[in-house]
Amino acid sequence: MLNTKGHQLEQSLKIKNLLDEAVKEAQAIGEQIDGIRAPDEKLASTAKTVMDDIGAVRGRPLFFPFVGTGVGRGAYVELIDGSVKLDLINGIGIHVLGHSHPRVMSASLRGALSDIVMQGNLEPNREYHLISKKLVDLASRNSRLKYVWLSTCGTMANENALKACRQKKTPARMVIAMNAAFAGRSTMMAEITDNPNFKVGLPEYNEVLRVPWFDKTDPNSSAKSLSVFKEHVAKHGQNIACFTFEPMQGEGGYNVAPREFFLPILEFCREHKIPVWADEVQTFTRTGNFFAFETLGIGDFIDVCTIAKTAQNGATFYTEEFNPKPGLISGTFSGSTVSLAAGLEILNILDKENYMGPGGKIAMIHKEFVSMLEDLNSTTCKGLLQDAGGLGLMVAVTPMDGTKDKVDRLMHTLYKNGLICFGCGKGPYKLRFLLPAILTSADINVAKGIIEKSIKEIS
């Protein structure tokens, strides 16, 4: 590439200086955001018009009256009503380095100078090559995963994973999945998802078999789940295409299970040659390792794995044995040049700057945030914030009695008071946080004050 115009574009000092100046100016504007801010009454009418218009064109209102201005600073984001919120859901896990990270902005700007907006699997550019190589490097460190295929979202990554498994086990079609699973919003992923509210009016295709998730209150939980798994195999035999699971459940309630729960099932799958697909669309980079299968020490069992969110793109990993035949997985789009460039920069930052591992930044944030929730539960919000936990940047807590109405009310009260989070689970319902990896102790202290105030307002 040394003699190409592309190399000239990449090495242009003039472009570098222009990009540096643009990022520097954007950062200077963002630095004016210095914490939570209430809405500006002068902007209320304009903001309401925008919210109403969005509701009209999409057929339903936004869950939160959230439209960003395009300016943020770290964990804080500015909205068009002039307010500033502490963003602890981050687009449901997309903005792992928070808002307006200078290196991510710089990578995005450089990506925007490319000759194309969208890269494809037929005609990719260098960003496709670089992020694919990085992803394979990360995945292969503690697993047998050898290849990766890019896609535009987690759902599409999951569709590709299922196709790879079904092709390998053709003509098998049945899928074994966990209770409370979530897999995405396509027709097939909705079938794997175990929440009737997410598939109202859709037909049942009866291709998914359920296994109970780990129950920490039951000492026989692992044995019971394995027993159900064996029953499915005994009944459906060669018609089982794969076993899919989230190493830590996301939408289902931020449910955590120990390594000892998974091992008997995974060993049984290996014995009976049942493909194992780990859905890491939400857990990728967030559990203190790049993959939750690393956190659990089960990488050697994984045949297929899927990610999205943090990578700013979707991706499906597979071993040599599960490399699909040509034509099975493809698609016009593999991702935008900006998303591929930004995703690569995010992965490099997380890989090289002490975010991962037992003593990494992610583990420290988890410990401090959970301790903060536990402190509130034992003091000023006594008994009203139960079972705080999760893994890494994925933290959940059961507020009050865990009923949907109260959790929804609390979410909106938190939003009003300046903190954005979301819900998960369905019995009990929980508050969930997808914390940015740049969260500071000062930010956690701000969150503590808002949570305490909001609990008191409605309890």
Cα(450)–Cα(92) distance, integer angstroms: 20
Residue 114's SS3 state is coil
* pLDDT of res. 260: 97
43 DSSP 8-state letter: G
Average pLDDT of 427-446?
96
Cβ-based neighbour number of residue 348 at 10 Å: 15
Residue 176's SS3 state is strand
Cα(405)–Cα(395) distance, integer angstroms: 21
All structural domains of the chain, each given as residue ranges with its CATH number in brackets, are 26-100+358-458 (3.90.1150.10), 112-352 (3.40.640.10)
Q: 155 is written with which tokens?
A: 């759902």
- The H or E element spanning position 292 is helix 292-296
- The H or E element spanning position 227 is helix 221-236
Q: 93 is written with which tokens?
A: 């896990």
* pLDDT of res. 1: 59
* pLDDT of res. 275: 98
Q: 48 is written with which tokens?
A: 């309401």
Residue-wise pLDDT tens digits, 24-66: 999 999 999 999 999 999 999 999 999 999 999 999 999 999 9
Q: 36 is written with which tokens?
A: 């939570």
Most distant CA pair in the chain, distance: 68
Contact by Cβ (8 Å): 72, 97: no
Cα(176)–Cα(236) distance, integer angstroms: 11
Binning pLDDT at 50, 70 and 90, where does residue 427 land? confident
For the chain, what is the mean pLDDT?
Answer: 96
Average pLDDT of 288-301?
98
| Residue with tokens 């869950």, as numbered in its chain | 63
Residue-wise pLDDT tens digits, 378-398: 999 999 999 999 999 999 999
Residue 345's SS3 state is helix
* pLDDT of res. 3: 85
Cα(414)–Cα(78) distance, integer angstroms: 16
Binning pLDDT at 50, 70 and 90, where does residue 459 land? confident
Cα(310)–Cα(68) distance, integer angstroms: 19
Residue-wise pLDDT tens digits, 121-174: 999 999 999 999 999 999 999 999 999 999 999 999 999 999 999 999 999 999
* pLDDT of res. 268: 98
Contact by Cβ (8 Å): 432, 396: yes
By percentage, how much of the chain surpasses pLDDT 90? 97
Average pLDDT of 322-327?
96
By percentage, how much of the chain surpasses pLDDT 70? 100
Cα(455)–Cα(448) distance, integer angstroms: 11
Contact by Cβ (8 Å): 310, 286: yes
319 DSSP 8-state letter: -
* pLDDT of res. 375: 98
Average pLDDT of 335-363?
97
Between 6-10, 301-305, 390-394, the lowest mean confidence (pLDDT) is in: 6-10
Q: Is the pLDDT at 2 greater than 90, yes or no?
A: no
Q: 329 is written with which tokens?
A: 């997985």
